[in-house]
Amino acid sequence: MMADSSSAVLATGCLDKMRVTAGEPAQYHLSLGQSEVALNPLLGRRIRLRYTGTIRCTHCQRKTNKSFNQGYCFPCFRSLAQCDSCIVSPEKCHFHLGTCREPDWAETHCRTDHIVYLANSSGLKVGITRATQIPTRWLDQGAVQALPLARVADRHLSGLLEVLCKDFVADKTDWRALLRGDAVPIDLPAERERLLAAARDGIAALQGEYGLTAVQLLPEAGEQRFAYPVQRYPDKVSTFNFDKEPVVEGELRGIKGQYLLFANGALNIRKFTAYETELSVTDA
């Protein structure tokens, strides 16, 4: 689709996940290569995002016909530690076995303090993140509430503790529920107390094996709440796919997590990392 005479191109470049900071509401910026566009001022305006057909690996910048693991070319997907299966399943971390693909990368991303937490994005869930990624991780997930559960010494331990908690709490976000509206409030401190009691024996076993300082429970940590710039949720709960339709256009109704919300669906920006995209305002 060609841009019409009434459109104004704001930026063109390869997408990266939106930068977001907490606020009332959260403030979003869209990253397009070297450019960054503030999105909150575009709420209520008609915008167009056009995928040019080019994908450049987010790591090495080489052109690739297909994106692997949200933005990588196949060689990088096969070689980088950040694309290993243990990133999705941290309990499978194998750094301590000496088989990590990139030990230096793991020292800063895996061998560092992690937080195991409870959040409410589409209902109660347990998750993990590096301690330095709070509250960004919660905002990226569209959480309206979040509460730390424990601080652990590394990513491997965070995965082991998360696996214990998954017997009692979900570990996934329902993206359809996320796009329907704000989650019903949950008493997170009460849920934390319930979960710690239910997983007491497993937690004690982890502390016995790795040490009390390696798995520190946080029963007094405070809850954080978040608001998102949403004027109205989509009438149709569905997602757009640049691989099938290269143009997404409509009134920007809201931004939540890593989704741009339109009347007839939502675009998951994170999914299309490395896709070269042109952003225009079409009501100019």
What burial class does residue 93 get, using C-beta atoms within 10 Å of its C-beta: 0-12 exposed, 13-18 middle, 19+ buried?
buried
Q: What is the pLDDT of residues 207-240, one digit of tens each?
A: 999 999 999 999 999 999 999 999 999 998 999 9
Q: What is the pLDDT of residues 138-181, one digit of tens each?
A: 999 999 999 999 999 999 999 999 999 999 999 999 999 999 99
d(CA 268, CA 17): 9
CA-nearest of 248, 253, 250, 265 to 228 is 253
Across 81-85, average pLDDT: 94
Q: In this structure, what token pair is assigned to residue 111?
A: 């061998």
pLDDT of residue 7: 82
Domain edges within the chain: 8-68+228-281, 76-225
Say what angle helices 188-198 and 200-210 make with each other, to 10 degrees.
70
Q: In this structure, what token pair is assigned to residue 210?
A: 């790795």
Query: 10 Å Cβ neighbour count for 170?
Result: 14
Q: Is the pLDDT of residue 198 over 50?
A: yes
What burial class does residue 97 get, using C-beta atoms within 10 Å of its C-beta: 0-12 exposed, 13-18 middle, 19+ buried?
exposed
Q: In this structure, what token pair is assigned to residue 120?
A: 């409410």
State pTM to two decimals. Answer: 0.94
pLDDT of residue 284: 63
